[in-house]
Amino acid sequence: MDKFYITTPVYYVNDVPHIGHAYTTIAADVLARYRRLCKQEVFFLTGTDEHGNKILQAARDKGISPKELADQMVERFRNLWKKLNISYSYFIRTTEPRHAQIVQNIFSKIYQRGDIYKDKYSGWYCIPCESFWLESQLEKGKFCPECKREVTHVEEDSYFFRLSRYQKRLLDFYDSHPDFVLPKSRMNEVVEFVKGGLKDLSITRLNLKWGVPCPLDSYHSIYVWVDALINYISALDYSFNGEKFRKFWPADIQLVGKDILRFHAIIWPALLMALEVEPPKMVFAHGWWMIKGEKMSKSKKNVVDPEWIVDKFGPDYLRYFLLREVPFGEDGNFSPFLFIKRVNSDLANDLGNLLNRTLTLIEKHTRGKIPVPGEENSQDTQLRTGVEQRLPEVMDSMENLSLSQALSFIWEIVRAANLYLDRCAPWRLMKEGERERAFTVLYNTLEVIRIICILIFPFLPRGAEEMWRQLGISAELKDQRLPEALQWGNLPPGLEIKKGQPIFPRIKEEDFYETERAN
């Protein structure tokens, strides 16, 4: 069986999960579920980054220990992922003893190879971003170029990774692997940055008690970003002759926000090269979700709480909106108006209405059982061939991580089925005594709905499974395998439907205003 390894970043636990965390994780879950349908053995990794000054300060502000803060925040992440139906294989915490041991082993190995040395660091450090900056990179001489907060001047002994040694090797790698960073505009940014010259990287902090201890010097802790990046192979038991590492590495897709791309596209592959380990196949950097054109930030009090949305409306509405509203990779603007408009139009009106009215007709005219279709006519052929033409477009879009485009193609199938039902009007055919023709139309509409269930399952697992159940199919939806499951005519006549409540009810505008007040 083919393998597929996908990762999210490990999320920093200084505060509760927000919609940006949810966006990355939902996208990873969609791709993991799709690859399982494609008969691949999937390892889907997510988790939390729990070391560093930022955690230490946040814990002190709350009057608790860093570990207590991390434990609290980890539960918030795990609970949200459960509510969002995230099907991860493993949730890693960077405070796990095994992870820390692997980090230390890797540090020692790179040191023994001559790529780590001790020197004095003098420069600017941003505590919120856990990032070092050159003076030339600062905004107005004292503000972090990423988070815009004031930086701190640091001068102390440090161990350095010889990142500069890997400049040419990285550029050669980018040249021979043009899809290593996607979208392509992000690859261009990375290449230009590396061409500008790489400096050796400070990878320890002095007297930082909340971090992985440096194996060479008890006064130092390993830089949190190095610690965090190693999670992608420590989760596979790297350095312990791990079977999972041999099976799943290199990662097929590593999803990150565009703000942490340089760590993943420059530092991470350079560290792997120092270990003589193959870099991941792809780093995909998506955009930000913003409010009124501004990046969401707790300090700006413009954060949308994904847990509130899921508790209020269920997981599928949020999953659908985030992946349908903007092309994956670009920035998007979140607003209650856009959310309500999208889910009411696409989920309630188009998909929900298609299912509800078809099942109602089945209850009324075929005693609740899926009818036997008759001979196919030109309208039926047009519907079937239209669906068959869209299927490779959906699958190509999934392969290319064009998630919004994939949903767009799926919704062309949804709308085609609605149009077919309207034009063929089986209720009129029944009145005119054309029972066989009416049964054919109803069967074909249900067959399209069956195919839609499979296509939307990675995006809307709860809704798709309920639609599947209402069709009366006993086989598990998650056990369907592509492309065989998408072949026309797989719906067995005679099954008894199990019509229930509408799966995608409409949202009222006033239902969402509570979110704005809460934030």
Cβ neighbours, 10 Å, residue 301: 9
Query: What is the Rg, in whole angstroms, of the alpha carbon atoms belonging to the chain?
Result: 26
Q: Is 47:93 a contact under the CB 8 Å cutoff?
A: yes
Among 390, 480, 488, smallest CA distance to 448 is for 488
Looking at residue 300, its pLDDT comes to 61
Q: Please give the pLDDT value at position 340.
A: 94
Residues 487, 182: Cα–Cα separation, whole Å: 32
Which among 115, 190, 202, 195 has a CA at the least distance from the CA of 155?
202
Q: How far is CA 448 from CA 53, 129, 142, 430, in A?
A: 54, 48, 59, 21
Q: Which residues of the chain have pLDDT under 70?
A: 1, 241, 293, 295-302, 513-519
- Residue 513 has a pLDDT of 64
Helix then strand then coil, % of the chain, to nearest 5: 50, 15, 30
Which pLDDT score, from 0 to 100, does residue 518 have?
44
* Phi, psi dihedrals of residue 492, rounded to the nearest 5°: -75, 125
Q: Looking at the domain that runs over 335-486, which CATH code has it been given?
A: 1.10.730.10
Residue 517's pLDDT is what? 44
Report the pLDDT value the prediction gives residue 126, as an integer from 0 to 100: 84
What pLDDT, on the 0 to 100 scale, is given for residue 298?
Answer: 58
Which residue in 364, 492, 483 sits closest to 429, CA to CA? 364
Cβ count near 405 (within 10 Å): 18
Q: In the prediction, which pLDDT does 155 show?
A: 85
pLDDT at 280: 98
pLDDT at 519: 45
Question: 492 near 370, Cβ under 8 Å?
Answer: yes
